[in-house]
Amino acid sequence: MSQPEETRVRDAVRQDPHVVNGLASVAEAMRLFETSGHDTLVIDKRSPDDEYGVLTISMIARQVFAQNRAARRVSVYEVMEKPAINLSGNMQARYAIRLLTRLNLDVALVVENDQLIGTVGLRELTLAEFASNVPPAENVQNSEKE
């Protein structure tokens, strides 16, 4: 019997990330969250030697709304995490899950050949790893009836 193929980060990546300028307001970022359906924004590099940043709704909740700050007056760069953790698309999903949980992070950027290809979250990685290691749902339902 052959071993199942390992799940890779690229199997769970959310492609076409929304990239915004760090000088944008949190209000602008929130509008982008609303219209795009994404839960992560990538903050663009200011120069080729700079690093990407990352912004999530939970960061905004903790650092803006929970502290009663005005979303129109706060810039994205004040709330974002930078540098963002970069994962290789070829990394095994289980190792990416371990790394993100060890660092208490929910999201990372996926980079291949020095190119940003997307974002990946703990949720997507966990679901991809589960799908590769557990029988299809119909088999699980049949075994529960027995």
pLDDT tens profile 2-28: 455 789 999 999 998 999 999 999 999
What is residue 59's predicted lDDT score, i.e. its pLDDT?
95
**Residue 54 has which token pair?**
């990352």
pLDDT per residue as tens digits for the range 110-123: 999 888 999 999 99
Predicted local confidence at residue 132, as pLDDT: 86
pLDDT of residue 137: 65
How much is the pTM?
A: 0.82
Give the model's pLDDT for residue 1.
44
